[in-house]
Amino acid sequence: MTNVLVVGSVNMDLVMKAQRLPAPGETLVGGQFTIVPGGKGANQAASAARLGCNVRLIAAVGADDFGRAAVANLEAQGVDRSRISHVAGVATGVAVIVVDAAGENTIIVASGANAALAPAVIAANADAFSWADSVVLQCEIPVATVLATIAAARAAGTLVILNAAPAVVSLPDQAFQVDYLVVNELEAAALTGIEPKSPAMALEAARQLNARGAKHAIITLGALGCVHSDDSVAEHIPAPQVEAVDTTAAGDAFIGALATALGEGKPPTQALCYANCAGALAVTKLGAQSSLPDAQSLASLYRQHCSG
């Protein structure tokens, strides 16, 4: 069984479903409201756990009701909670999400305890890096902690998957020294200055990310799937076509599935096709962790879409 170490954020998501996204200053009436566990770190940990991995999560939450609920939910998903810190005097991270009828969303995040996940926490959990087959991290935690995580994983000889999300205009060069760098269109544009309006343009941006140090650069393109570039391959990998309900956790499902597939020994192209299928299944349901696919449903779609 694959061992995945996730370092990242834990939030509680306040989700409002509306016919459309409001304009600045506008108040819309109506819509479905739910409170669901989220945060990119938690979502990606839950994704990998649902797909059968052994998952440990290094994270921080507040000593509050949201934090206790989020951690209990992670435990129920099969994620090891032993390395999650409860920080006194700080609120658990919160994301306010509005989803329109087409499944598109806008998100505002109050980082809360996620900002307290310091490099010292990474040093205190050094043993977890030698345990892991892969280390997964994102940018909803301090950049210094991202860099400390990459350094710890490299010292342990462990594969690193960095999801440079949400969009970061500037990352230090050390952040690109990873095995897999995964970004969406907005993040790719922020990092490269190239708006990936087509797979060809996305591959141009991916090659820039390779030049900065990423061994494998992946740009996700929503319904178009993703592109992948390394020192020998430049390819567009299509995604299954589905009816989108909520795109909130599609990227997190993608990352969890990618870590799972690579741990199972799938080559990059097949691992990315598997990840595309996970993202496609996630957008067919409302919510973040509530939309993450299980191993059986993902295996079924993978056989249909990627067998060729």
| Catalytic site positions | 252
Among 285, 219, 287, CA closest to 254: 219
Q: Helix, strand, or coil here: 14?
A: strand
Q: Helix, strand, or coil here: 62?
A: strand
Query: Cα 10 to the chain's mean position, in Å?
Result: 12
Q: Which residues, including other chains, have CB under 8 Å from residue 293's CB and lie 6 or more apart?
A: 50, 51, 253, 257, 277, 278, 281, 282, 301
Indicate the pairing of strand 11-17 with strand 32-38.
antiparallel
For helices 250-263 and 268-282, angle between their N-to-C axes, nearest 10 degrees: 150
CA 271 → CA 44, 209, 262, distances in Å?
Answer: 16, 20, 6
CA 253 → CA 13, 262, 274, 291, distances in Å?
Answer: 16, 14, 10, 9
Among 179, 107, 180, 171, CA closest to 145: 171
Among 206, 199, 242, 201, CA closest to 221: 199
Backbone φ and ψ for 240, nearest 5 degrees, come out as -60, 145
